Amino acid sequence: MSAPEEKKKFPIKKRISHVFEFVFTLLLTGIINLFPFSALHSVAKFFRIMLSPILGSARRRIRAHVAETLRITDEKELKRFVNNNLDNTIRSFFELMQAWKMKNKKFIEKYVEFGEDTLAIAADRSQGVVFAEGHFGNWEIPIPAYASIGFKVFFSAQRLSNPYVDAWTHRMRVGYGGGGPIYLKEAEKFIPLLRRKEPLGLVSDQDAGSDGIFVNFLGRMASTHTGPAMLAYLGKAKLAVGFCVHQGKGRYRFYSRILYRFQNKSDFSSSREAAEKLTKLWVGELEKEIRKYPEQYFWVHRRWKTRPSEETGKAA
């Protein structure tokens, strides 16, 4: 059993700021919960229009990423794409504010359609499984969706800087009915969990800085976390991807597929090779889905922030 985390002590000004942020979060959550789940996309569109004056930075980042990776140059088309992408992004956060509904099996049955492979993966308990996800569609729904059919997936999570919002988010995620969150400071639990043939989910498409490996993602090299690949290899588990794509009116199609099944250590010549090949494998699958539904990706991320040394050398 790991030692309890020490509570951070914040200066009084920071604590006051945290309280105001938390109260604002609760008020906004209360407002969002006045609307049915099926109407949240329309609500998100309304908020995007209302908040337009403060969304300039997000708009510029989305435009830059999309223009370079998807080669959208027509100004009218680019503007439409940015607006739709912001609608999808805002809706996903509003859906998180209604996450308490997702522990209801009838709610999942109404709003989530399961793909065949998704159910087959849940039925096969011969090995542990690592689900690699990206910030695409709704990345929270797979946990309560799987829990509704008795497949309890543990998932990696990171503590939020605001302790009040963090505690609120933690209670909400525990309420999903899945295996529960495992925080990054408890990462030593991951491999034993997989060797007990349990499922684990990770959202791993953020910029990994100097700790990642460079993988071609949407035509540009991107520093990528090797966590899903290494956990599948060292945990003697399967590596899968899972996607929950919005179909309109709050409805989602949830599908996943197995990319790799651990056989033995000789699958790869080294752990480095395993990290590289398996990371390229799942990132390639994520890229395919993004190209099908590009407006549902979280383009506001600084995904290509870290550049390869040869590229920075040329720039210098």
Which residue ranges make up each domain of the chain? 102-315
- At 224, phi and psi to the nearest 5? -130, 140
Residue 116: pLDDT band (50, 70, 90) is confident
What's the pLDDT at 196? 96
pLDDT exceeds cutoff 50 at 1: no
Contact 147, 173 (CB under 8 A): no
Position 21, amino acid: E
Query: Residue 53's Cα: distance from chain center in Å?
Result: 27
Q: How many CB atoms lie within 10 A of CB 129?
A: 27
What's the pLDDT at 91? 98
Contact 91, 97 (CB under 8 A): no
pLDDT tens digits, 193-237: 999 999 999 999 999 999 999 999 999 999 999 999 999 999 999
What's the pLDDT at 7? 58
pLDDT tens digits, 257-312: 999 999 988 889 999 999 999 999 999 999 999 999 999 999 999 999 999 987 76
- At 131, phi and psi to the nearest 5? -95, 120
Residues 6+ apart with CB under 8 A from 118: 242, 254, 255, 256
H helix and E strand count, the chain: 12, 9
pLDDT tens digits, 165-187: 999 999 999 999 999 999 988 99
DSSP state letter for 197? T
Q: Provide the token pair at 162.
A: 């605001």
Residue of 103, 105, 299 whose CA lies nearest to 220: 299
DSSP state letter for 2? P
Residue 113: pLDDT band (50, 70, 90) is very high
pLDDT exceeds cutoff 70 at 4: no
DSSP state letter for 160? -
What's the pLDDT at 266? 86
Position 269, amino acid: S
Three-state DSSP state, 150 = coil
Measure the CA–CA gap between 227 and 239, rounded to whole angstroms.
11
Helix, strand, coil in percent for the chain, rounding step 5:
55, 15, 30
Q: How many CB atoms lie within 10 A of CB 158?
A: 12
Over range 82-111, report the average pLDDT: 96
Q: What percent of the chain has pLDDT over 90?
A: 88
pLDDT exceeds cutoff 70 at 314: no
Beta bridge partners of 183: 157
Measure the CA–CA gap between 172 and 86, rounded to whole angstroms.
24
Average pLDDT, the chain: 93
Q: Where are the beta strands (DSSP E) in 162-311?
A: 180-183, 199-203, 213-217, 220-224, 238-248, 251-261
